[in-house]
Structure 1
Amino acid sequence: MADPKRQAKRVTRAERRAAEEAAQRAKAEQAAKERKQQTIIGIIVVALVVVLVAVGGFFVYRAITNSTSSASGDVNEAYSKLEAVGTKPAKADDKAGFLVSDKGYGQKVEGVPTVGIYMEPLCPGCAAVNQQLDPTLVKLMDAGQLNLELHFLNFQDNKSSDNYSNRAFNGAIYIAEHDDDPNHLMDYLYNIYASDFQPGELSNYVPVDNSKLEEQAVKAGVSKDVAAAAFSGKNEYVDWLTASNNYTVLRPELFSTSGGFSSPTLTINGEYWALSQISAADTTMVDGFLKAVGLSSDQVGVEGKLPSIGADGKPISLTA
């Protein structure tokens, strides 16, 4: 006859093992649930960026209709008007861009890609791209792994009550002209696109005075004298900024597949790079960009490790 005490002990051990196994299963299920939640959050973030870009593109289309009416839809006429502007930034190229590299302004590193960025200071999609991608772009630039070509636009200036776009990017151009360190300009752009600084649009716009923009420039490393002059209110480059905007938005090589110009726009070696690929490939903006230029994440910022597409290759498809 079985000993009741031994039988009770065996039952207790069995119950304990069952409880331990149940706890392990619950822990594994919780971990799997958390991984799933993190994946969903990542997908939502990428999708949000794409939506912001799309929404930005819609409003850009409406803004372009107004801002480029004087150009009569003719890119050549718009370029002639750009050429005729009296005060031009000396560091801008013939396509109204500012080339920057680890050599400084206007000097290309040979054999590496050139990434063009077309941006507007009130554009929420531009802010999303800047905050996610620019830190990686700056690391690549500083390591001589790519060149950047910056294009400043002001088509949303009428969505502010105090000419914010004109003032923010007149200041950016002034910094480019009077501060020889491209990183100061890049950091200024990063600062004004920060979620706790970039103002809203139209009814959501809250006035931003020049002293606030000046603060962002000084935080970026710009000298106090240059920052004060950049936001003194003279706005000497606004005519050129507007003419370059009106020319840029008519350039057919910058049109999206849905037709027309939208912001933000990115090019790689002069080739339009569709941000919609990021969502389609279910990847992050940084990983998608690195794949497009042919570079692995562990090579970012490593001198001598150059993107496989070089200076002339087309961006690698993320979905092929």
Structure 2
Amino acid sequence: MTSLSAKIVNIILRLRGIKKVFASEEGALKGVAENRKNGPAKPHSALHALCDISEEKVDGHLVYHLTPKSGGSDHHVLYFHGGGYAIDIMPEHWKYLAKLIKVTGASVTVPIYPLAPEHDWKPAYAMAAKIYAGLVSETDAANICFMGDSAGGGFSLALAQMLRDEGQPLPGRIVLLSPWLNALGDDPEQLQIAPHDHIIGIGGIQAMGRWWAGEGGDPAAFPISPINHDITGLPPMGMWSGTHDILYVDAKQMQAKAAEAGASLETYIWHDMQHVWMILPMKEADQAIGEIAAFMDRA
């Protein structure tokens, strides 16, 4: 049964009208313009109390390093935020990471990577590869977890696929949260789910997929749509999705692809949950973080 906190969050999401940003290309352009005025959210005071936070620039873009002040573990998360590859990191991402750090003791690296439509995918992946190489020089790759929500989930999977293709050391695990894996947004089932999804819409994600592919690029191609690339030879993966998320279709495609390929994928499907519900303030999110922590320890 859906918790009271989840029901309240759903009401707030509808009232805030977040979905307007993702409903159409026009809405996406307006949303991006407004987002750029505010810029990326910064770590909140509670996170500063929990962690030592340092910053660096990689290829001219900010990277945050979060290290627990106490109770740290060997886990190191490389986290890619969602937002359709076009919206900056939001306060909800930092609040989620604070909860994750409390439960897992993980250190976390958060790239504020270049976004569309100003950029296509190439500089973001070049930046991510440099960050990962730096982490591997300091810690065992087996201790590193690629993690991301929505577009960040697609980013996490595609980066691991790139590293595998290049023969590079792979992270120990991958966590995909409501992952966006197919940028086409053309599955008929998504039209059926769309009225229940209060965060993203088909027209907006289709536009953002085109932006991320870049001029002359194909949104169906790798790495924009990592579902269309080989997933064998990857580390253990955990995936969380909700049935009221239009990207639930992507999760089901990934589940089927993993079964066919014999890839290691644990799938957690939550009934009636919204897009990226696991980073929102609700009881079910706290339960999902417990599942994520268990997966990270088990993998």
Per the TM superposition, whether the score is higher than 0.5 is no
Compare CA radii of gyration and give the structure with the larger one.
1
TM-score scaled by length of structure 1: 0.27
TM-score by length of 2: 0.29
Task: Report which structure shows greater RCO (CA 8 Å, sep ≥6).
Answer: 1
Larger relative helix fraction: 1
Structure number with higher strand proportion = 2
